[in-house]
A and B are shown apart, each in its own frame.
Chain A
Amino acid sequence: MRELSPLPKTVRDMLSEKGIPEQDILTCVCADMDETGTLCDAYAVMTKDELAILTLLPTLRPGKRTFPYIKPCIQTGYAELDFTHFMLSDICDFRLEEYVGSGKLTARLGRDETPTDAPEGPDMPPRWNRRSGPGGLFGSGGKESVSTVPLSSIGKEPNKGIDRICLFNFTFRKKAVVQQFLEILKVVAKTGELPAESGTKKETVCPKCKTPYPDPHSPVCPRCMDKMQMVKRLLPFFYKYKFFIILIFLCILASSVLELLSPYISSKIFYDEVLAVNGKYYGQIVGIILVIVGANLLSTVVSMITQLINSRISARVTYDLKKIIFSSFGRLSLSFFTGRQTGGLMTQLNSDANTLYWFFCDAFPYMIINIIQIIGVSAVLLYMDWKLTLLTVLPLPLLLYVYRLILYAFKKMHARQFSKSRSFYDLIADVLSGIRIVKSFSKEKEEVSRFDAKSRDEANTGLKLTKMSNTIFPLFHFMMFSGAYIVWIYGGWKVSQGVMQYGTMMLFISYLSSLFGPMNQLADMSGTLTNCINAIHRLFEVHDAIPDVVESKHPVSLGNVQGKVEFDHVGFSYTKDKKTIDGVTFTVETGETLGIVGKTGAGKSTLANLLTRLYDVSEGGIYVDGVDIRNLSFDELHRSIAIVSQETYLFRGTIMDNIRYAKPDAGEEEVMAAAKVAYAHPFIIQYPDGYNTMIGKGYKELSGGERQRVSIARAILKNPKILILDEATASMDTETEWQIQKAITEITRGRTTFIIAHRLSTLRDADKLIVIDGGKMVESGTHRELIIKPDGVYAKLYKLQLEALKTIGIDP
């Protein structure tokens, strides 16, 4: 039995009683919802010819009361809610339907005779012959493409969905495992046998604490993460600075010792030995003052040395950390960056690197010093007068506890203020960047009042914080001196009795105040350590991230690239639940131009991403000159391909720098020639600074069409064998587009070209066309062949565009 979820013994027995013996069960899964939305355990099991769903509600016994907490509830058994049972021969067309927060596994009553996903065209082979790979009917390993559909696009349903039934429900927590169940179900329903296990099973639950991984793509359990392991990993970064760190440590230690000595000299020695008549150094005031000054001076010098060493290594340590992280970016795949706010990524990492430095070079040494100080001061005080020491130390734990409570309250206030502040600055950034829209809709007054509301909110929160701080802290400081009052009372009485010297009493008070600081800093360490561990975790997340797209260890070299490209049954998904490209197959000979057509979101640009290995295919292969691109080096592949996409990105720099980015050693004439071919030269030469015009944020902003032309010039300069134009003329006026079309005709001569376009006019001269719909290649052929197809997708698109032109008075 392949257990996708554990099947408890109780449930096995219950199923056995219902006529489903354990040995017949091929696989099982536990969903977590019933039809009414109640959270429960819905066990779905399948044998070779039936599917059964047993819905159970765990019965719980309250946990025992054991001081200081109550143990969690204990499950005592199950109450059966429902049992449903289907013969696999009576149901077909299994689908995983996603709703908002939950989903259903559904099926249709009856036998499956008609395909349910890709529409059939006259030249599309029937579904059961479509795959021709090894393994017979369903390709390798009996894998079937899974129709997992968001509910908003279920697709064609025979009988309009009237005979669809729900097998079971689940919340999104179970989506991944139900997905696996569906894949198996489809195969078992057709063949009666389990499919082969597909590669390594992806763990979604921590094996140690059984909690699902919070990030489904990253099998790291924050709960079980070994904190010390993380810290140990960081030590090598600091190892080369060990001499300086030891030096800092020694300086801080020396500074602490001097700090401890100072009250001893200025209290005990000064009052009891210098000012007291029978003191050892009676009358030597100047001498003792000189000693005090000398000690303070030494302390200052030591501090200065500490700061100098700190500043020397701080920049180096943070530089090292940031360099390692930034260079990690270079080897990471595109998928790491999509879905992450890359703008904030570097800011976060910068802050994390500083956090780590501060922890290791400042907080950690001080932690050691604090421990030594507490032990040292306590030992000295106990030696001097243990009764007085115990009396004065007694209120300290209570004070610390109160202090923690105050800090917690402040933490909340600060968090609230931070949130208001962030909201306020977000609004400003939002409005200022969209000021054009604000003005064009005359919304200035509304925006000012929105700003006013948020600003007032932030000010009020700040005011509350200040009020709280100005009332609570003074009260707390008053309480802090409670220990000192005890010393005054008891110590004062002892001095008046002649049992204790005055200097000793003053020393007590000095040391007492120096005890509270270290104790509080130590108590704070847990929060500081947590911040540090968090920072390490974030830094190593980048450092450890494994790129999805990895260069072959022994890449093949093509030598003189011809430019023949083949896509062979290519399949790919950005996310697990939806196939973006499914079974696309075509060949483009050297020098041919292929037009790729389809609606927005059909998957056209994804083909370009796959060809350039920004992502790797999950099925099939892509071949350049007969060699799988996964066997080529990144360098050779990227040298052979240039892509001009609709979203142009130009770096901050001169126009010359941007065009030359493709070929840094290109001469000025070469660059100008490329610019001329791209029709960029006429507008560049108009600028006062010509090709030296600085572009980018804060400098000259080019229009959309101008950026596109510079981008094309860059691609032309590269002189690749394979050129991809992804909506390259989308943001241009018709005249410019026409001009560029002429240029494109020139540059595509003898070069394998892929033109991805919505506007079919740009594909006039393509040798071949393919139509992509829903990730599948639904049609292929020349323009003439496709236009005459009666219900062809291309023919329909062409007709629509012609009609659109007619409505604006253009009759082509």
Chain B
Amino acid sequence: MENMENSRLSKIVSMNRLTPENCRFSLSSGGFLLMECLGETSEMMGRVILHRAFPFEYPESFLAVMDTEQNELGVIQDVTDFDPETRQFLRCALARRYYMPIIVRIDSIKERFGFSYWKCKTDQGDVSFSVKDTYRSILKVGENRIVITDADGARYDIPDLIHFDKKSFRKIELYL
């Protein structure tokens, strides 16, 4: 009875680790990530979505692979478990899902009535956005890393405050 109980519990807590031996990833014609289970009988699982369990600490590890009905098919321990081509597919899928431009320079931050208007240069281009409740919208996610969430819910990353542009740092210093 106890053994049955233990095996049932271990079934519930076990992670189905996805490796090149038991699955294969590819891209559909529409550019979406597809997964095929390998084994005695191959099964095409269809379109899958990658969810980072630890987006800030381990961006390429502990990736939950879910199908379109939110069923977890397994977990990728690390993208480096896979060959370079598959790694490329996985990284593309992650980049699409987690869109967070990196702020390279802050041109101006103007405050008006509790909102702040930001003009920045990012690695994806120039952006202007507004932030509501600036102090609460800046999240410290690492030792020197912050993420800013704007009024629309879009997020922007400053990965390293220490090596950040000095003039830009002075503009943001007040809110840190």
A interface residue numbers (CB < 8 A to B) = 33, 35, 37-40, 99-102, 104, 106, 109, 151-157, 159-166, 171-173, 175, 211-212, 214-216, 222-223, 225, 411-412, 415-416, 419, 533-534, 537-538
In the docked arrangement, what's the CA distance between A154 and B69, Å?
Answer: 6
19 CB contacts below 8 A, A to B, read A39-B124, A99-B98, A99-B99, A100-B97, A101-B100, A102-B99, A104-B96, A153-B70, A162-B28, A162-B34, A164-B32, A172-B152, A172-B154, A214-B151, A215-B115, A215-B132, A215-B151, A222-B115, A419-B176
Residue of A nearest to B173 (CB): A412
Cβ of B155 under 8 Å from chain A: yes
Q: Which of B30, B69, B135 has the most CB of A within 10 A?
A: B30
In the docked arrangement, what's the CA distance between A214 and B176, Å?
Answer: 21
Q: Determine which of A40, A101, A104, A157 lies in contact with B46 in the assembled complex, contact meaning CB atoms within 8 Å.
A: A157
Is B113 in contact with A100, judged by CB distance below 8 angstroms? no
CB distance from B39 to the nearest CB of A (A): 18
Decide yes or no: A101 and B98 within 8 Å by CB, A155-B68, A164-B28, A214-B115 being known contacts.
yes
1/0 contact string of B108-147 vs chain A (CB within 8 Å): 0000111101000010111111111001000000000000
- B-side interface residues, number (CB < 8 Å): 50
Q: Determine which of A106, A155, A225 lies in contact with B113 in the assembled complex, contact meaning CB atoms within 8 Å.
A: A225
Is B114 in contact with A157, judged by CB distance below 8 angstroms? no
Q: Which of B69, B112, B127, B128 has the most CB of A within 10 A?
A: B112
Count CB-based A-B contacts (< 8 Å). 137
Cβ of B95 under 8 Å from chain A: yes
1/0 contact string of B19-49 vs chain A (CB within 8 Å): 0000000001111101000000000111101
Q: Determine which of B32, B114, B128 lies in contact with A161 in the assembled complex, contact meaning CB atoms within 8 Å.
A: B32
Q: For B151, what are the chain A residues with a Cβ–Cβ distance below 8 Å?
A: 212, 214-216
Is A101 in contact with B155, judged by CB distance below 8 angstroms? yes
In the docked arrangement, what's the CA distance between A441 and B171, Å?
Answer: 42
In the docked arrangement, what's the CA distance between A222 and B67, Å?
Answer: 43
Q: For A412, what are the chain B residues with a Cβ–Cβ distance below 8 Å?
A: 173-174
Is B114 in contact with A164, judged by CB distance below 8 angstroms? no
In the docked arrangement, what's the CA distance between A215 and B137, Å?
Answer: 14
In the docked arrangement, what's the CA distance between A416 and B68, Å?
Answer: 45
In the docked arrangement, what's the CA distance between A167 and B29, Å?
Answer: 12
Is A101 in contact with B173, judged by CB distance below 8 angstroms? no
Q: Which of A160, A165, A212 has the most CB of B within 10 A?
A: A160
Is B155 in contact with A39, judged by CB distance below 8 angstroms? no
In the docked arrangement, what's the CA distance between A538 and B132, Å?
Answer: 13
Cβ of B153 under 8 Å from chain A: yes
Q: Determine which of A100, A159, A533 lies in contact with B100 in the assembled complex, contact meaning CB atoms within 8 Å.
A: A100
Cβ of B66 under 8 Å from chain A: yes
Is A101 in contact with B47, judged by CB distance below 8 angstroms? no
CB distance from B66 to the nearest CB of A (A): 7
Is B68 in contact with A537, judged by CB distance below 8 angstroms? no
Decide yes or no: A163 and B128 within 8 Å by CB, A37-B95, A171-B154, A175-B152 being known contacts.
no
Q: Determine which of A35, A38, A155 lies in contact with B69 in the assembled complex, contact meaning CB atoms within 8 Å.
A: A155
- Chain A binding surface SS class: mixed
B interface residue numbers (CB < 8 A to A) = 28-32, 34, 44-47, 49, 51, 66-70, 95-101, 112-115, 117, 122, 124-132, 135, 150-155, 173-176
CB distance from B24 to the nearest CB of A (A): 14
Decide yes or no: A100 and B98 within 8 Å by CB, A35-B31, A214-B130 being known contacts.
yes
Q: For B97, what are the chain A residues with a Cβ–Cβ distance below 8 Å?
A: 99-100, 151
Residue of A nearest to B51 (CB): A152
Decide yes or no: A162 and B44 within 8 Å by CB, A99-B99, A173-B152, A215-B151 being known contacts.
yes
Residue of A nearest to B96 (CB): A99
CB distance from B174 to the nearest CB of A (A): 5
In the docked arrangement, what's the CA distance between A171 and B98, Å?
Answer: 11
Q: Which of B95, B99, B155 has the most CB of A within 10 A?
A: B99
CB distance from A177 to the nearest CB of B (A): 11
Q: Which of A33, A101, A163, A212 has the most CB of B within 10 A?
A: A101
Q: Determine which of B49, B96, B100, B152 lies in contact with A216 in the assembled complex, contact meaning CB atoms within 8 Å.
A: B152
Q: For A534, what are the chain B residues with a Cβ–Cβ distance below 8 Å?
A: 113-114
In the docked arrangement, what's the CA distance between A797 and B66, Å?
Answer: 24
Is B114 in contact with A160, judged by CB distance below 8 angstroms? no
CB distance from A437 to the nearest CB of B (A): 23
Is A163 in contact with B125, judged by CB distance below 8 angstroms? no
Is A156 in contact with B69, judged by CB distance below 8 angstroms? yes
In the docked arrangement, what's the CA distance between A106 and B32, Å?
Answer: 11
Q: For B114, what are the chain A residues with a Cβ–Cβ distance below 8 Å?
A: 222, 534, 537-538
Q: For A39, what are the chain B residues with a Cβ–Cβ distance below 8 Å?
A: 101, 122, 124-127
Q: For A153, what are the chain B residues with a Cβ–Cβ distance below 8 Å?
A: 69-70
In the docked arrangement, what's the CA distance between A274 and B91, Å?
Answer: 91
In the docked arrangement, what's the CA distance between A157 and B114, Å?
Answer: 44
Q: Give me 17 other A-B pairs in contact (C-beta within 8 A), A39-B122, A152-B66, A160-B68 excluded.
A: A33-B99, A99-B98, A100-B100, A101-B98, A101-B153, A102-B154, A161-B28, A161-B46, A162-B28, A165-B31, A172-B152, A173-B150, A211-B130, A214-B132, A222-B115, A412-B174, A415-B175
CB distance from B130 to the nearest CB of A (A): 4
Is B30 in contact with A164, judged by CB distance below 8 angstroms? yes
Is A38 in contact with B125, judged by CB distance below 8 angstroms? yes
Closest 8 CB pairs of A and B: A160-B46, A161-B47, A39-B125, A165-B30, A214-B130, A102-B99, A222-B112, A101-B99
